[in-house]
Amino acid sequence: MDRLSLEARINAEVYNYSGKIGLYANDFKGNVIEINSEDKFETASTIKSYILAEFYRQVYEKKIDRNKVLKYEKENFVVGSGVLRDLDFGVEMTAKSFATLMIVISDNIATNIMIDLLGIDNINNTIRDLGLNDTVLHNKIDFEKYSQLGTTTPKDYGKLFELIYKKELWSPELSEEMLEIFKNQHYNTMLTRNLPQYFLDSENTGDEELIYIASKSGSMDACRNDGGIVNTPGGGYIITLFTKEFVDNLYYNEHESYRFGGKVSRLMFDQFISLGGSFK
């Protein structure tokens, strides 16, 4: 390997990281960058992206209506991320609204409502049908009962977003609908951390939006993960970053996974931009 190749520079960037990083990136120009991309990682909330894929499969197959009204009941309560835990029981919304909360603010209660609606077996069957053979949803979210939520690899997660970017997940229209949900996701813990914020903030700058991120992150004691689509004027690329085996289990913005992952994301971004839309 060239000592200054992209892969070598990534490894140099994370040399002092206490844990293990997995990376999968695809520039759609024939260049795929992989580091530990087939290692298995705890999904944490990234599993919610696969649940969204199953939701839209059932919409596509007309098994469910995205406008079906669902209710948040007491038995759905679970701690963790989201806003429903702070609302009164009995809140009613459409299935699509619950699915959107599941992604945009990573709402755990909305996630369990979606799992009940869709079925764990259906979710896992769809994951396998997509050829993502190293990914599985183990159970609903319940931190008192289960220490795991899901298992995946950076490569599987990247492949899911590739299908969405290419408008090949069920239909072009549904792929676009999923893309818009991922674009509104609030917790870009690694992908956007070190990117030039000016280009991501057209609302406040008044300038044309040059770059968008469509992604879903996830964090549990065992992992800190992020991944999705980065779209630029030179085209788009997929990047998924997964971490494990680090020494610090605390949750805060300066966690080493976020710092080192953010460095890798910026390195990939600069490489892509400087070469006019490719990694090599």
Q: Where are the domains of the chain?
A: 6-274
| Mean pLDDT, rounded, for 164-175 | 98
Residue 143 has pLDDT above 90, yes or no: no
Q: What angle do CA 215, 218, 240 make, to 5 degrees?
A: 50
pLDDT at 116: 96
Backbone torsions φ then ψ of 133, nearest 5 degrees = -80, -10
- What pLDDT is attached to residue 202? 64
Q: Which residue has the higher pLDDT, 179 or 249?
A: 179
pLDDT over 90 (residue 278): yes
pLDDT above 90 coverage of the chain, percent: 81
| CATH class of residue range 6-274 | alpha beta
- For 26-37, write each residue's pLDDT tens digit: 999 999 999 999
Cα dist from 85 to 46, 67, 216, whole Å: 20, 22, 20
Residue 86 pLDDT: 85
| Mean pLDDT calculated for residue range 143-158 | 93
Residue 1 predicted with pLDDT over 60: no
Average pLDDT, the chain: 94
Residue 3: is its pLDDT beyond 70?
yes
Percentage of the chain modeled with pLDDT above 70:
98
Backbone angles phi, psi at 136, to 5 degrees: -150, 140
Mean of pLDDT values over 158-169: 98
pLDDT recorded at residue 203: 67
Average pLDDT, integer, range 59-63? 98
pTM over 0.85: yes
- pLDDT tens, residue by residue, 183-223: 999 988 899 999 988 887 766 766 777 899 999 999 999 99
Residue 10: predicted pLDDT: 94
Helix then strand then coil, % of the chain, to nearest 5? 40, 20, 40
**Cβ-contact 158, 238 below 8 angstroms:** yes
What is the average per-residue pLDDT within 83-112? 94
**How confident is the model over 64-77, as pLDDT tens digits?**
999 999 999 988 89
Question: Out of 24-38, 68-82, 154-168, which region has the weakest mean confidence (pLDDT)?
Answer: 68-82
Contact criterion met (CB below 8 Å) for 140 and 123: no
Query: Among candidates 242, 189, 235, 194, which has minimal Cα distance to 212?
Result: 235
Q: Specify the pLDDT at position 264.
A: 97
